[in-house]
Amino acid sequence: MTHVSKDAADLSRRTALTGLAGGAGVLLAGGCTPSGATSAQGPTPSRTGSATGSADGATPGVMTLFKDPGFNFNGLLALGAAGQGAGEVGEVLTAVNEINKAGPSAQTYTGTFKNLGDRLMVAPVASKAGTETTRLRALRASQYYGQALFFVLGSDDPGGEEGLYKSGRRSWDTFCRLSDPPPVTADVPYGRTPLPVWFFRPDDSGERRPTVILTNGSDGQNVDMWTYGVQAALERGWNALVYDGPGQGQLLFVDRVVFTPRWETVVTPLVDWLVARSDVDADRIALTGLSMAGDLAPRAAAFENRIAALVAMPGVLTPWLGFPPEIRKILTPDKAETNNIWNKQVVPELTPAEAATLKKRFEPFSVPAMLAARDGKMFTDFYTPAQLIKSLDITDVVGRITMPTLVLDYDYEQFYPGQPRLMFDKLTSPKDYVKLTAATGAQLHCSPMAPQQHCEVVFDWLQKTLPGR
């Protein structure tokens, strides 16, 4: 018989979900420190707070769009994307006002942003949209569909998730098709399900250029890669590769392929595809990882030595630690015991909002969990996806990384506090550390209000690390 700790056996709704119900908006209460790059000698120690799920502390020092931290964080992402054209301040704030007036909920948030995406995908009132207008509206629409997609599992139509993803994908593809030059699209071989890729170039001259592979996190969409890298790369004369990996985009929502802990098996075929191209400088291929991909990209770079530079945004060693300890305690060494605790003691006490958060957090790691959520049900197997998340730990492989590496950190990092510094300390390759701070509005996970600053830091470092010849 497997021993179960009293802490696990006595889980209640409140203890189990402390800090989790806020979803993407779980924030920190801590001090701010100056940002700046630091050499291999190490960064100046800084004070970091502890995670809380309090709505009262949802947005320390930042704009409050919603009292709910999950809605607020996602709204800030949409607002910040306006700097790269992947949003419009007036459109976002109008949507925020509509949601607050109706009463913030997964239903009102999803419905409002979906309707906004739908409106942008038709011609403006009393006019026929030109090509450029259609292109730019499609980019913003893909942002708004992505906003709706994030909360759809908690809405009245969770079964509409795949259709909503496809709406966002159509708008993204429209934007790409009308770009000049349009990105090269392809399906790169990967197991039984190819990886869709979009290869952006500053022009179609065929010039050999440095190239950045942009890796998304656990719940981002392609439009986020435009905001966090594509436009910045093109403006600096770089190529940029966007792709859907397992657990992301098409592979998750349509092909039903979940995350893999061996991310080098994803990146290596992408590098193979790039080095075969005459317009790619094979000696200057960089790899970035946003959000949870701050774990995935370093894992790949530890085994793929053709990567010339690596950026972790932020550095993540152990994604499982992004879940509160009360949730982690549910997992025991025994599958049956773990699932018994989950189904008998935790699930029956979940509120609808808490259940929706858990469904969203676990769906990229379990197809049964995703399909159950689309059917309006809670998944019953907690053990399997939890073990997959645990397997993403890269603590023991970071020392294999040999290329120059930039590790980003953020004031009030919600999900992985302290992990960027731990990664930096474990690296033995040439390395730099930058902390983006509240002093310039760049706080919170991935600097949602300051993606332009974020890209400036990343690409200034890349251009210094991989200079032209």
Query: Strand pairing partners for 195?
Result: 188
| pLDDT for 140 | 98
3-state class (DSSP) for residue 455:
helix
| CA dihedral over 392, 393, 396, 398, signed as positive or negative | positive
| pLDDT for 469 | 61
Q: Helices 161-177 and 367-374 meet at what angle, rounded to 10?
A: 100
pLDDT category, 24, cuts 50, 70, 90?
A: very low
Percent of the chain with pLDDT over 70: 87
| pLDDT for 63 | 85
CA end-to-end span of the chain, whole Å? Answer: 65
Q: CB of 285 within 8 A of CB of 306? A: yes
Distance CA(147)–CA(165), nearest Å, equals 10
Is 100 a residue whose pLDDT tops 70?
A: yes
Q: Which of 79-93, 113-127, 444-458 has the lowest mean pLDDT?
A: 113-127
Query: Could you tell me the two tokens for 169?
Result: 């994908």
| pLDDT for 116 | 98
How many C-beta atoms surround the C-beta of residue 255 within 10 A? 15
The one-letter amino acid at 189 = P
| pLDDT for 128 | 74
Distance CA(165)–CA(156), nearest Å, equals 16
| pLDDT for 21 | 39
Distance CA(224)–CA(150), nearest Å, equals 13
Summarize pLDDT for 153-198 with one digit per residue, the tens: 999 999 999 999 999 999 999 999 999 999 999 999 999 999 999 9
Q: Tell me what the mean pLDDT of segment 105-113 comes to.
A: 98
Is 378 a residue whose pLDDT tops 70?
A: yes
Task: Compute the residue count for the chain.
Answer: 469
Summarize pLDDT for 226-275 with one digit per residue, the tens: 999 999 999 999 999 999 999 999 999 999 999 999 999 999 999 999 99
Phi and psi, residue 213, nearest 5°: -95, 120
Q: Which of 26-30, 102-106, 277-281, 455-459 has the lowest mean pLDDT?
A: 26-30
Number of helical (H) and strand (E) elements in the chain, helices listed first: 19, 10
Summarize pLDDT for 303-328 with one digit per residue, the tens: 999 999 999 999 999 999 999 898 99
How many C-beta atoms surround the C-beta of residue 307 within 10 A? 23
Return mean pLDDT, the chain.
89
pTM as predicted: 0.89
How many C-beta atoms surround the C-beta of residue 453 within 10 A? 18
| pLDDT for 467 | 93
Higher-confidence position of 11 and 100: 100
pLDDT category, 129, cuts 50, 70, 90?
A: confident
Distance CA(301)–CA(321), nearest Å, equals 22
Is 380 a residue whose pLDDT tops 50?
A: yes
| pLDDT for 357 | 94
| pLDDT for 395 | 98
Distance CA(439)–CA(411), nearest Å, equals 9
3-state class (DSSP) for residue 256:
coil
Q: Tell me what the mean pLDDT of segment 3-13 comes to.
A: 40
Summarize pLDDT for 32-54 with one digit per residue, the tens: 222 333 333 333 333 333 222 33
Annotate 204-234 with DSSP letters as a single string.
SS---EEEEEEE--SS--HHHHIIIIIHHHH
Annotate 290-345 with DSSP letters as a single string.
ETTHHHHHHHHHTT-TT--EEEEES--S-GGGGS-HHHHTT--S-HHHHHHHIIII
Is 17 a residue whose pLDDT tops 90?
A: no
| pLDDT for 317 | 98
| pLDDT for 127 | 72
